Amino acid sequence: MSLSSLSFDLASLQAAYREGTTTVREVIAEALRRSAADTHHAYIHVLSAAEVEPYLARLDGVDPASLPLYGVPFAIKDNIDLAQVPTTAACPEFAYTPAESAFVVRQLLAAGAVPVGKTNLDQFATGLNGTRSPYGACQNPHNPAFISGGSSSGSGVAVAKGYVTFALGTDTAGSGRVPASFNGLIGLKPTLGLLSAWGVLPACRSVETPSILALTAADAQAVLGVAAAFDEADAYSRPAQPLGVDFSAGPFRFGVPRDKDLAFFGNEAAAALFADAVKRLESLGGTAVTVDLTPFLEVAKLLYEGPWVAERYVAIQGFIDAQPDAVFPPVRGIIEGGRGKTAAEAFAGAYKLKALRRVCDRVWNDVDCLLTPTAGTVYRIDEMQADPIRLNANLGRYTNFVNLLDQCAVAVPAGVLASGDAKGLPWGVTLGAPAHKDLALLRLADRFHRALGGSLGATGIDVSATPACIGLPGGDMGAAGSGTVRVAVCGAHLSGLPLNHQLTSRGARLVDSPACAPEYRFYALSGGPVQRPGMVRVAEGGAAIAMEVWEVPTALFGSFVAGIPAPLGIGKVKLADGSEVPGFICEGQGIAGATDITSFGGWRAWLAAGAPR
């Protein structure tokens, strides 16, 4: 095998190791060669052979199948600690050498991944463009005149160019999503606390998280499954929670901003790609629901115009007070703006955010996820440097609110710009959802990505050549499970009928409309006020009855069952395909005085025949 042509996506690497066509030392040597040849300012430090050796030595004699990330090269944003390698945050005067790696890095190392280098970034992770670094402005790998996106700029370039399989970034205001959009990648902003921030130099500690940039959603899911682990040392760490209803396979409802809330800053090609993205989600089983984005945009303003900018000052207070001239002027202006924030302003901001979040959270009553552009447009490096504050603010229009509202989000490629100065550059959209819906977003992003087609980053490798994102990952994410129970209903709980709200108000989702096995008699029970049917299993003379199967969050299933009156209860219902699911059954004595309606084949048919509701 020619190592120079080997794709570093996870599936290709695992296949090569499994088939014995290459070794981990050969792969990492190739990753170092590619990284050292970079001309796009992706790296601040590429590890030497001597620095990499301890990570390789620990894999000697290890079965590749025994570690989920065996021999996988990865890069680390240089505000995240790697033991014995300087952390600079793109400020040489600030640099320190940690004795221990960040918790999230240690999780990856334990899974067999091998670090290749520390990547460039907007200094102190302050910016969304990748030009604010003394190590050089990161250049877009598809056209070096354009920005790569930031602040995890080098991480995006390293993955897009195929130097590594994945890279760690951070995300405070979109720093892990904007580079994904401009580089043709998947960018995961996880639920806050799933990835420990111990050993990460913070920008805004209360809303910031490490992020994952990868070629595919499947790769991002695999990394998340390893990296997500509770860390007692991180006060913001929290265990993974059950996924709940998995809307990724459809049907699902997705929010789309009103036309007047959308801004593409003159980029008509981006506007066209967003319209295509809406249609693509609809083709995957989604129903578009128009959403008022105004409260979300109000939240977004708080991140830089409100008191949260004081967190940036707190993070490096001693350094910037002592050496202000060591900080890039746009970065210094933003961070020093936090110096004068008062406790009164902090409380006022917190109160405003709390009120706005109450309004924003109402959207989840109507939709499963939200679709927005990742960034409305992309800029050339020279125009960004000429107008750094205004243009950077434009880049954060659709990203800033996600962190403050405790949402998770996945940036996914949406196509290539067909016209304008940026013709030929990738451009992406973002899928957002409430906390702990990370896996559902990744799976939906994967379906979206595959429906789009095209190459992975700037590698030229087609997404169709890689495996789909399915199942649950390992680690804490897998242990959390899906967190849902399927329940079969046959009467007043059917879609559109009087008791269906008892399901929908609990976030339940309709997943199938099967018939039961032909082993039941069906009755209209006496009593009310809402009339209900009863299904009784019989040894002979049964019939198939039309049903619906709903997926209900486990945490809310108990309250649903508690409201079921006798003689009904939840038992196992056999479906026509032979499978069994929990569902409504009736005690035998409950049919006294009931009307046998088996011949109608279902509750709706009986209602349609003129029965009282």
The DSSP letter of residue 463 is: G
Output the six-digit token pair for 157: 């370039």
Compute and round to an integer the Cα radius of gyration of the chain.
Answer: 27
Asked if residue 375 lies in contact with residue 181, where contact means CB atoms within 8 angstroms, the answer is yes
- Nearest Cα neighbor of 190 from 219, 224, 215 is 224
User: Residue 145 — very low, low, confident or very high, per pLDDT cuts 50/70/90?
Assistant: very high
For residue 95, the SS3 value is coil
Least confident of 362-366, 425-429, 493-497, 562-566: 562-566
Model pLDDT, residue 612: 56
Ordered DSSP codes for 390-428: HHHHHHTTTTHHHHHTTEEEEEEEEEE--SSTTTT-EEE
Q: Which pair of tokens denotes residue 178?
A: 């904007």
Count of Cβ atoms closer than 10 Å to residue 5 Cβ: 10
Average pLDDT, the chain: 95
Q: Which DSSP category does 153 fall into?
A: H
Identify each DSSP E strand in 361-503 by its residue range: 369-373, 407-416, 426-434, 484-489
Mean pLDDT check: name the lowest of 12-21, 241-250, 415-424.
241-250
**Among the CATH numbers 3.40.50.720, 3.30.360.10, 3.40.50.970, 3.90.1300.10, which is that of 3-480?**
3.90.1300.10
- Mean pLDDT within 426-446: 97
Report which residue type is found at 392: N
CA–CA distance, 462 with 183 (Å, rounded to integer): 15
Taking alpha carbons only, the member of 217, 213, 48 closest to residue 141 is 213
Encode pLDDT of 517-531 as tens digits: 999 999 999 877 788
Q: Tell me whether residue 341 is one of the annotated catalytic residues.
A: no
> Other C-beta atoms within 10 Å of 346: how many?
15
Read off the tokens for 521. 């008699």
Instruction: Round to whole Å and give the CA distance between 199 and 99.
Output: 10
Q: From the candidates 133, 151, 153, 237, give the one annotated as an active-site residue.
A: 151
**What average pLDDT score do residues 221-250 get?**
93
**Which tokens go with 70?**
């065996």
Region 585-589: what's the mean pLDDT? Answer: 83
**Residue entry with tokens 């990835």:** 195
Sheet holding 186-189, edge to edge: 43-46, 114-119, 73-77, 166-171, 209-214, 186-189, 407-416, 426-434, 369-373, 252-257, 286-291
Average pLDDT for 547-555: 91
List, for residues 458-517, the tens digit of each pLDDT value. Answer: 999 999 989 898 877 877 777 777 788 999 999 999 999 999 999 988 888 888 999 999
Give yes or no for residue 568 having a pLDDT over 70.
yes
Q: What is the percent of the chain where pLDDT is above 90?
A: 86
Per-residue pLDDT tens over the stretch 153-209 = 999 999 999 999 999 999 999 999 999 999 999 999 999 999 999 999 999 999 999
Q: Phi and psi for 41 in degrees, rounded to 5?
A: 65, 40
Q: Which residue has the tokens 């995890």?
A: 152
d(CA 262, CA 292): 10
Judge whether residue 1 has pLDDT over 70: no
Q: Are the C-beta atoms of 52 and 115 separated by less than 8 Å?
A: yes
CB 40 within 8 A of CB 148: yes
Confidence of residue 543 (pLDDT cuts 50, 70, 90): very high
Close Cβ partners of 405 (under 8 Å, ≥ 6 residues apart): 296, 299, 357, 360, 361
Q: How far apart are CA 167 and CA 156, in angstroms?
A: 7
Angle at which helices 24-36 and 49-57 cross, to 10°: 150
**Sign of the alpha-carbon torsion through 332, 336, 337, 343:** positive
Sheet with 533-537: strands ordered across: 533-537, 520-524, 595-596
Domain locations along the chain: 3-480, 484-608
Dihedral of the alpha carbons of 135, 137, 143, 148, in degrees to the nearest 10: 100
175 is catalytic: yes
What is the architecture of the domain spanning 484-608? Roll (3.10)
Residue ranges of alpha helices (H) inside 323-365 are 329-336, 343-361
Q: In 3D, which of 252, 124, 140, 137 has the Cα closest to residue 185?
A: 140
Query: What pTM was computed for the model?
Result: 0.90
Catalytic residue among 175, 181, 196, 211: 175
Structure tokens at 104: 């999230």
Residue 613 pLDDT: 46
Active-site residue 12, yes or no? Answer: no
